[in-house]
């Protein structure tokens, strides 16, 4: 009889443990909401898809995540928001660790200088051709318009030069 009473007391504990594990797992996934701003996954032929393949990353929604399990397993290294019908780019700070972001093929009106504040590792960005690179084209080592898109490559440290983003240093 003692064994039966112990089992019946164990069931609620196991259920609570399972519930808490599920709740913890769903909380861990909230940082990936930026990966679901557009439907569908990153495609292999896109710039972010190719970057992800070369970087040995893994695709989750519109994000390329680092496969390095020694650091943050949810670290976004690439974000593909191309062809998502975006007219404004607002809070993408969940992807502040991204090395590459593609915003091409969107009817974006303009990009705010603060939209990418804190994106210290961002090295490559694709925006519609009529939009300047974040922080202005002078904030990037190489800027070119190709196939209707503006390619922004090699983000400069704006703290070492005069420009729009100096107040952020």
Contact 155, 99 (CB under 8 A): no
Whether the pLDDT of residue 103 is over 50: the answer is yes
Read off the tokens for 158: 């704006």
Euclidean distance between CA atoms 15 and 166, whole angstroms: 53
* pTM of the model as a whole: 0.75
Whether the pLDDT of residue 167 is over 90: the answer is no
* Average pLDDT over all residues of the chain: 79
pLDDT of residue 32: 77
pLDDT of residue 128: 96
- According to DSSP, residue 131 is labeled S
Euclidean distance between CA atoms 131 and 110, whole angstroms: 6
Contact 102, 92 (CB under 8 A): no
pLDDT in tens, 37-85: 998 889 888 999 999 999 999 999 999 999 876 666 689 999 999 999 9
**What distance, in Å, lies between the first and last C-alpha atoms of the chain?**
69
């Amino acid at each position: 009889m003692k064994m039966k009473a112990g089992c019946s007391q164990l069931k609620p504990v196991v259920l609570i443990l399972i519930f808490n594990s599920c709740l913890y797992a769903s909380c861990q996934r909230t940082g990936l909401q930026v990966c679901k701003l557009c439907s569908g996954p990153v495609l292999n032929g896109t710039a972010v898809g190719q970057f992800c393949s070369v970087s040995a990353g893994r695709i989750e929604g519109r994000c390329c995540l680092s496969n390095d399990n020694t650091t943050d397993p949810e670290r976004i290294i690439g974000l593909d928001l191309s062809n998502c019908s975006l007219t404004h780019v607002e809070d993408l700070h969940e992807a502040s660790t991204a090395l590459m972001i593609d915003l091409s093929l969107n009817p974006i009106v303009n990009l705010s200088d603060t939209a990418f504040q804190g994106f210290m590792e961002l090295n490559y960005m694709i925006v519609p051709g009529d939009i300047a690179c974040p922080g202005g084209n002078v904030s990037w080592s190489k800027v070119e318009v190709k196939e209707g898109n503006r390619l922004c490559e090699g983000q400069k440290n704006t703290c070492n030069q005069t420009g729009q983003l100096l107040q952020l240093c």
